[in-house]
């Protein structure tokens, strides 16, 4: 049996072991085709059926209505920062953004670069993004409202999504897609880089309400045009075939676990265990405010940078890897995505208690 560590990396991140084993089994011969999925034409019937299966699972798990279409794109969430203002801006209207951290700032920067009218209607930058702002007003001339549902770097997450009325709500859900139950039909567009909770790196999932496809103008780059990719069922050009295959396996794994409610239950258990350990300690200081804490990325500091470095090194020696915090927050970050088993968090908490006893 291969040696496996508990992988707390923020993305590319841990994948379910059973998914990796299926990939290994099917790698040389996909379902009797005599070749790997990696070698197969994206125009083949077999691959077309796979794309359809993946789309159906993505919609079914969360309960998207038939008003939505799933697109598999490339370029990560970063490409979508530009694609959204290019496709969805409207004359005489202004795009609205809520700034909750690094990725939100990057999305805002792309709208600015493209000279599209935009405004930031709320921000938590005043306190180094320790919270999700809840006090804001949506303009009557808003083209759309853009939020980042979970802030990987800062460890904050929207607890409840804003009600934007008739204004299309758009969310970057790269790091918390499929971690909990919510009503997907209140969103006009959800996008996610798959490499945290939904699959491997290199696939971007976009789920768009079909009426918005009419907004895509003719004069934008084809590779970023939602309408064209929707018409071609994500096969306008060669997609990341292997990545889509793995996304489909991960979606099947979610269903096999008992669906989104079963996944959420375990996620809440894992997060509770870790936050309880942090709250019971004087040695560890959580970054995010209690009312904005993320289920997926838990961030905290130790009394000194030397101790943080020591913590990361000793944790790795105990098969707990990927715990170094992002440079803009420092400290420690444990990314506890769906595929992180409860046992991994239990082991981390044991290590934390032991480390505090020796160094506190």
248 and 305 share one domain: no
Asked if pLDDT for residue 328 goes beyond 90, the answer is no
Collapsing DSSP states into helix, strand and coil, what is residue 216? coil
Same domain, yes or no, for 307 and 246? Answer: no
Name the residue range of residue 288's domain: 260-359
Q: What digits encode the pLDDT tens for the residues 116-156?
A: 999 999 999 999 999 999 999 999 999 999 999 999 999 99
Identify the CA nearest to 121 among candidates 112, 106, 134. Answer: 134
**Phi, psi (deg, nearest 5) at residue 248:** -60, -40
Number of structural domains in the chain: 2
**CA 183/CA 262 separation, integer angstroms:** 16
Phi, psi of 229 (to 5 degrees): -70, -30
- Cis peptide before 12, with omega less than 30 degrees from 0? yes
> Does residue 313 sit within a domain?
yes
Residue 296: predicted pLDDT: 98
Q: Are strands 332-335 and 297-301 parallel, antiparallel or unpaired?
A: antiparallel
Report if residue 13 sits inside a domain.
no
pLDDT value at position 202? Answer: 97
**pLDDT value at 256 more than 90:** yes
Whether 12 is covered by a domain: the verdict is: no
Per residue in 141-196, pLDDT tens? 999 999 999 999 999 999 999 999 999 999 999 999 999 999 999 999 999 999 99
Rounded percentage of the chain residues whose pLDDT exceeds 90: 98
Are 234 and 264 in the same domain?
no
Which one, of 206, 205, 208, 210, lies nearest residue 187 by Cα? 208
Mean per-residue pLDDT of the chain: 97
Claim to verify: residue 242 and residue 339 sit in the same structural domain: no
On whether both 71 and 30 belong to a single domain, the answer is yes
Dihedral angle sign, alpha carbons of residues 291, 296, 297, 298: positive
Which residues have a Cβ under 8 Å from the Cβ of 317 and sit 6 or more positions away? Answer: none
Whether 6 maps to a domain, the answer reads no
Please indicate, yes or no, whether residues 147 and 272 belong to a single structural domain of this protein.
no
The reply to whether 237 falls in a domain is yes
Render pLDDT for 20-79 as a digit per residue (tens, 0 to 9): 999 999 999 999 999 999 999 999 999 999 999 999 999 999 999 999 999 999 999 999
Whether residue 165 sits in one domain with residue 82: yes
Query: Which CATH number covers residue 65?
Result: 3.40.640.10
CA dist 298 and 218 (Å) reads 43
> Which residues are known to be catalytic?
103, 172, 196
Query: Are residue 132 and residue 30 in the same domain, yes or no?
Result: yes
Using the 3D structure, point to which of 256, 278, 299 is the last residue of a domain: 256
Q: Which two tokens stand for residue 120?
A: 């930031």
Return the pLDDT at 1.
Answer: 72
Whichever domain contains 316, its CATH number is 3.90.1150.10
Exposure string for 255-265, b = 16+ CB within 10 A, e = fewer? eebeebeebbe
DSSP state at residue 115: T
Check whether residue 64 and residue 51 sit in a common domain.
yes
Q: Tell whether 63 and 174 lie within a shared domain.
A: yes
Among 256, 287, 305, which residue terminates a domain? 256
Residues 146 and 285 in one domain: no
At residue 178, the pLDDT reads: 97
Q: Does residue 9 sit within a domain?
A: no
- Dump the DSSP string for 171-206: EE-TTTTTSS---GGG-SEEEEETTTTTS-TT-EEE
Say if 117 falls within a structural domain: yes
Torsion of CA 34, 37, 43, 47, to 10 degrees: 100
**Whole-model pTM?**
0.97
Final residue in a domain of this structure, among 256, 282, 315: 256
Res. 360: pLDDT tops 90: no
Query: Are 302 and 210 in a shared domain?
Result: no
Distance CA 117, CA 85 (A): 9
DSSP secondary structure code for residue 326 in this structure: P
Q: Is residue 10 part of a domain?
A: no
């Amino acid at each position: 049996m291969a040696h496996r560590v508990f992988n707390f990396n923020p993305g590319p991140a841990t994948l379910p072991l059973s998914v990796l084993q299926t990939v290994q089994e099917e790698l040389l011969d996909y379902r009797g085709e005599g070749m790997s999925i990696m070698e197969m034409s994206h125009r083949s019937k077999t691959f077309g059926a796979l794309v359809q299966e993946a789309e159906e699972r993505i919609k079914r798990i969360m309960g998207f209505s038939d008003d939505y279409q799933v697109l598999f794109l490339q370029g990560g969430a970063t490409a979508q920062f530009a694609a959204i203002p290019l496709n969805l801006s409207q004359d005489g209207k202004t795009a609205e953004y809520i700034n909750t951290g690094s990725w939100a700032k990057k999305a805002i920067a792309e709208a600015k670069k493209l000279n599209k009218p935009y405004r930031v209607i709320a921000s938590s930058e005043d306190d180094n993004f320790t919270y999700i702002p809840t006090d804001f007003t949506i303009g009557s001339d808003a083209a759309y409202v853009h939020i980042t549902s979970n802030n990987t770097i800062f460890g904050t997450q929207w607890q409840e999504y804003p009600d934007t009325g008739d204004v299309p709500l758009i969310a970057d859900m790269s790091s918390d897609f499929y971690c909990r139950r919510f009503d997907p039909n209140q969103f006009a567009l959800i996008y996610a880089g798959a490499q945290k909770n939904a699959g491997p790196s290199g696939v971007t999932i976009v789920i768009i309400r079909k009426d918005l496809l009419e907004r895509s103008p003719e004069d934008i780059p084809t590779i970023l045009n939602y309408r064209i990719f929707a018409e071609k069922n994500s096969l306008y050009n060669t997609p990341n075939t292997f990545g889509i295959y793995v996304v489909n396996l991960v979606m099947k794994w979610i269903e096999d676990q008992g669906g989104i409610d079963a996944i959420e239950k375990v996620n809440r258990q894992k997060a509770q265990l870790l936050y309880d350990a942090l709250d019971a300690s004087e040695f560890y200081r959580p970054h995010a405010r209690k009312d904005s804490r993320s289920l997926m990325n838990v961030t905290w500091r130790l009394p000194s940078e030397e101790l943080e470095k020591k913590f990361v090194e000793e944790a790795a020696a105990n098969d707990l890897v990927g715990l170094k915090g992002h440079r803009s927050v420092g400290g420690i970050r444990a990314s506890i995505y769906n595929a992180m088993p409860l046992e991994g968090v239990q082991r981390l908490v044991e290590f934390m208690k032991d480390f505090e006893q020796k160094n506190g």
